[in-house]
Amino acid sequence: MSTTTTAPALLPLELVDRCIGSRIWVVMKSEKEFAGTLLGFDDFVNMVLEDVTEYENTPEGRKVTKLDQILLNGNNICMFIPGGEPPSD
């Protein structure tokens, strides 16, 4: 008989809290994605990122913009990937 160990379950806000100080990749509901270091968030999952790269898909191609800091509205976040970076095209 084999036994498997599973990691303890995390609530969503606990996962976000563990990502503070780490790089994350945030996919918005619009055509934008952000990769940066998570500085903080609130109960609505509004996020503050620093050392940010913004990726925007446009008809002309992918537009890349570097930003020092940004505040993302949690209402417009589709998903975020801890430790992730957008794929390079």
Tens-place pLDDT, residues 36-77: 999 999 999 999 999 999 999 899 999 999 999 999 999 999
The CATH class of the 12-82 domain is mainly beta
Which pTM was predicted?
Answer: 0.84
AA letter at 22: S
Summarize pLDDT for 14-44 with one digit per residue, the tens: 889 999 999 999 999 998 999 999 999 999 9
